[in-house]
Structure 1
């Protein structure tokens, strides 16, 4: 820049981001937190299953536990009669049964000892102490097998993943009360300018309320950071230098607002240059042209305009890239966004029922998961998207374009 004359040259956005990518920042440390505080945090270790989930064979439907071989040949005209010898509700210990008998079971209840299948309630009728079976079942039909969801020793979640609600459910089911995650980046906000006053102070002519600090505080919270407000620093080189050094001593990143253009009091870039280096200063955007980035002792200093709109635009343009370098994880698309994709395999659905099919979205394609039971929580962990089949459609065909609603952030590793 040329003071009082403007920027001699400005960096286009693509080149500014490229310059940022070539700089190494100190990564944030990790910490152990309770899982109730872990949602939205970046996992710092692989999660390995301690035991099978479920840890016992259980009924996947309401009905009758049976020995499958006893039902072979059953139909409406020739039902099989089995003696009812008991009932197992959810949470109860399984009872024992033998050939020629049946036990009432509910969805999720433990499979009785000796049984190897469950007949759905719809295909049965109780007659006194007996139950009529109108449809045969094969061994382990309508049964959720031990370890069907998660097997002991399996890596369930990998380090670097941004934890979603379904991940927290899996952690709980595996007995993890606490988990190691990356610390929230500590970002210190410094507001510069002789014209600034704090909320509640007398607003004289020529003075402006320091609104940028509170705006950025909220924005940083939305990026899952730990922001703090340093306060107002006047347009004085030594004061600015002292403030930035103090802020860097407690923060992983510093954001300044104001003092970054080409006016007489715009001293921030000069301070950063003296104690560190400038990565870029002046971007070809409007508003927000004075936006700049420096690095001091491996920590980023994001220099933003003092004008609120330009400040926020510069922040949203550059800070996500800074955050990616601090954590090693870049968010490509956010949870809840919709993306178009071609189906790799058909999704069946019954007319009159809205189906939520779990899929893995990658490179413009969606692959439906084979496991779709409502009790298989890891299907929501392995999947990163949902395809909704409306009531009026009987599924989507292979190769058909569908809308995928993301159920987790799409991320990529950043070096």
Structure 2
């Protein structure tokens, strides 16, 4: 049955933010997980889909941790500056060419960091505690068994888990996988995200603008947030406000997430909500939040569709609440906010209404969170003046001054598994 056309009739009801998030998380979980094998060099920042298990010991042999001399540890007992022990130097051990013989009593082998420990040796004396005299070395330090020796398997043991599945690979994670000789890893596929920009009044930057037209900014906004959350920008489509053009952009294959900017409300030319409902499902349209109340959430096949309001701040708010969350989950990341937080008292009150969630931009000043105007969903510059935002929960009528709040910082991002 075709859904009711609500254009020019307004929202009869709105879902709560919690209801919208619950539907979104459930819909994402129903989409089959996709993985791919990629070269290690391309794996930085990707989410590991299978744990990495080492097939070797690291190190694979006992090796020197210092430049110095490999010795029999017991023969250094009592050695000091006033009582050096004299040992005969019988050869060298280099990282690429170890000593082939075996150390016997009274002998030492000059050894470099990373070089294999000669057979018979049980410690390394650092070079600064030695003095070379002809073919001998004077040892002025007592060393214990295996001192300054990296033992076989000390770092990684064969059969041990090197990195668990679900980890967003950091440079050090990639390096440790390289250290076991593994050239490829299996990771979660990054979701392809299509951005559809609608609005006949929009002009792209650099083009001539007529009276009553405005420069389009949301594509620039979304092009930066999508990779932040682990997605790949499949394309940006600038579409005229026509039902057929929007339909074609929605149905074209190749996207895991489709973001429609503009045309999400109940205006005469807001075709996207009805199209999504007819082509798939649109269980959420209208959310009790400020800004971004016209937000819609739906699905066409296995593609998540998020209807984003055209006003820039509303677009950013709806993206942060819903679209980014979906992209992160599809990429194998945490659904949690990707922002670092600080706890601060409010510099002045925030007014709200019970039943509505507010996204309030704030600046950090003198150890307090100072709210900026929360009205004006088209005032994009407010986000550049803000250091972050505070979420006022739906159960609150507002927050008085000095209330401790959690500020989510725009400029301080982190990746969670």
5 Å-filtered alignment, 1:3-82, equals 3-4=7-8, 6-23=10-27, 24-82=29-87
Q: 1 CA distance for matches of 2:172 and 2:180?
A: 13
Q: Report the TM-score, using the length of structure 2 for normalisation.
A: 0.75
Question: Which is worse superposed, 183-192 or 261-270?
Answer: 261-270
Corresponding position of 2:221? 215
- Residue 133 in structure 1 maps to residue 139 in structure 2: yes
Q: 2 CA distance for matches of 1:245 and 1:407?
A: 33
Q: 2 CA distance for matches of 1:34 and 1:41?
A: 11
Q: 2 CA distance for matches of 1:148 and 1:70?
A: 25
Aligned-partner SS, 1:322: helix
- Residue 87 in structure 1 maps to residue 101 in structure 2: no
Confirm or deny: 8 A CA contact 1:49 1:151 kept in the other structure: yes
Q: 2 CA distance for matches of 1:133 and 1:407?
A: 53
Q: 2 CA distance for matches of 1:313 and 1:127?
A: 74
Corresponding position of 2:109? 103
1:20-76 residue CA offsets vs partner (Å, 9 max, x unmatched): 223244245222222111111112222121211111111112221101121123234
Q: 2 CA distance for matches of 1:179 and 1:235?
A: 44
Confirm or deny: 8 A CA contact 2:72 2:123 kept in the other structure: yes
For the structure 1 residues 286 and 202, does the alpha-carbon distance in structure 2 shift closer, same or farther, using more than 3 Å as the test? same
For the structure 1 residues 407 and 122, does the alpha-carbon distance in structure 2 shift closer, same or farther, using more than 3 Å as the test? farther
Calculate the aligned-residue CA RMSD, in Å.
2.8
Q: 2 CA distance for matches of 1:267 and 1:202?
A: 27
Query: Shift of residue 407 of structure 1?
Result: 13
Q: Which runs of 5+ in 2 are unaligned?
A: 344-411
The size of the alignment, in residue pairs, is 343
Q: 2 CA distance for matches of 1:408 and 1:101?
A: 54
1:335-369 residue CA offsets vs partner (Å, 9 max, x unmatched): 9x6999xxxxxxxxxxxxxxxxxxxxxxxxxxxxx
1:80-126 residue CA offsets vs partner (Å, 9 max, x unmatched): 22112222233222342222111222222221222111112333333
Aligned-partner SS, 2:13: coil
Aligned-partner SS, 1:42: coil
Match of 1:307 among 311, 314, 319: 311
Q: 2 CA distance for matches of 1:195 and 1:332?
A: 35
Question: Which is worse superposed, 273-282 or 23-32?
Answer: 23-32
Corresponding position of 2:267? 263
Query: Shift of residue 165 of structure 1?
Result: 0.6
Q: 1 CA distance for matches of 2:77 and 2:217?
A: 75
For the structure 1 residues 407 and 209, does the alpha-carbon distance in structure 2 shift closer, same or farther, using more than 3 Å as the test? closer
Q: 2 CA distance for matches of 1:103 and 1:220?
A: 57
Q: 2 CA distance for matches of 1:231 and 1:338?
A: 34
5 Å-filtered alignment, 1:353-372, equals none
Question: Which is worse superposed, 168-177 or 21-30?
Answer: 21-30
Q: Which runs of 5+ in 1 are unaligned?
A: 341-405
Query: Shift of residue 409 of structure 1?
Result: 4.1
